[in-house]
């Protein structure tokens, strides 16, 4: 491994309209922030509801952030690792995907989670937001693509998804992922454990 891969972004898209109320997320994340001993080590809550197509409501942790994000292509649950990952690239991807799915499952189980924000578990985005360590170029792709393919094969099955790279070198390195079928978060999590 030549990259100390720590920053991995997983977004699970939803059916929520851009106009979805973010108040429930503010309440839920405020409650979560008060919890002690969470692996992400929550430290702050940020309200970006005023930013059009922005990060929405974000719970910030020392090791990871989670948000209900309004950015294109659609609103959804965004999980971003910050530090604390170890192992191979594939193991780090598994850890990020697993944490994103676990927090998403917990979030949608909250009683005030908006019904209009139903998750589309067949539509994800996977990005590597550290532009210095993982620029969007062929060298990064050659280094990370085998691990991306292996992690997604474990999650959706070989041939069970379409992977579309973000080709613009000014964007972060990453992919839009469209699975052939939507499955429950629990079913997806079982494949990663």
What are the domain boundaries of the chain? 9-192
- Identify the residue whose tokens are 């990952």: 85
3-state helix, strand, coil in the chain (%, to 5): 30, 25, 40
pLDDT at site 38: 86
Q: pLDDT tens for residues 147-188?
A: 999 999 999 999 999 999 999 999 999 999 999 999 999 999
Residue 58 contacts residue 66 (beta carbons within 8 Å): yes
The mean pLDDT of the chain is 95
Residue 58 contacts residue 65 (beta carbons within 8 Å): yes
Contacts by 146-153, CB closer than 8 A, 24 or more apart: 146/89, 147/88, 147/89, 147/90, 147/92, 147/93, 148/93, 148/175, 150/90, 150/93, 151/90, 151/93, 151/94, 151/97, 152/126, 152/177
Evaluate if residue 46 carries a pLDDT over 90.
Answer: yes
Query: Among positive and negative, which fits the CA dihedral 39, 44, 45, 46?
Result: negative
Tokens representing 25? 């997320």
- Identify the residue whose tokens are 């920053």: 7
Q: What is the mean pLDDT of residues 69-98?
A: 97
What distance in Å separates the CA atoms of residue 94 and residue 24, rounded to the nearest whole number?
29
Confidence class for position 193, pLDDT limits 50, 70, 90: confident
Q: pLDDT tens for residues 8-44?
A: 999 999 999 989 999 999 999 999 999 888 888 999 9
pLDDT at site 14: 97
């Amino acid at each position: 491994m030549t990259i100390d891969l720590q920053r991995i972004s997983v977004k699970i898209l939803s059916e929520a309209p851009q106009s979805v109320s973010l108040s429930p997320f503010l309440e839920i994340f405020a409650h979560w922030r008060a919890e002690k001993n969470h692996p992400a080590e929550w430290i702050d809550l940020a309200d970006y509801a005023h930013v059009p197509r922005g990060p929405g409501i974000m719970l910030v942790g020392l090791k990871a952030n989670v948000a209900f994000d309004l950015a294109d292509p659609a609103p959804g649950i965004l999980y971003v690792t910050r530090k604390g990952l170890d192992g191979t690239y594939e193991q780090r991807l598994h850890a990020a995907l697993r944490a994103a799915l676990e927090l998403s499952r917990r979030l949608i189980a909250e009683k005030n989670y908006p019904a209009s924000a139903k998750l589309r578990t067949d539509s994800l985005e996977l990005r590597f937001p550290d532009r210095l360590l993982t620029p969007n170029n062929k060298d990064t792709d050659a280094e990370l693509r085998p691990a991306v393919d292996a992690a997604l094969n474990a999650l959706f099955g070989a041939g069970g998804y379409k992977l579309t790279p973000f080709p613009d070198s000014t964007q972060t390195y990453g992919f839009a992922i469209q699975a052939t079928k939507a499955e429950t978060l629990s079913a997806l999590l079982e494949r990663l454990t």
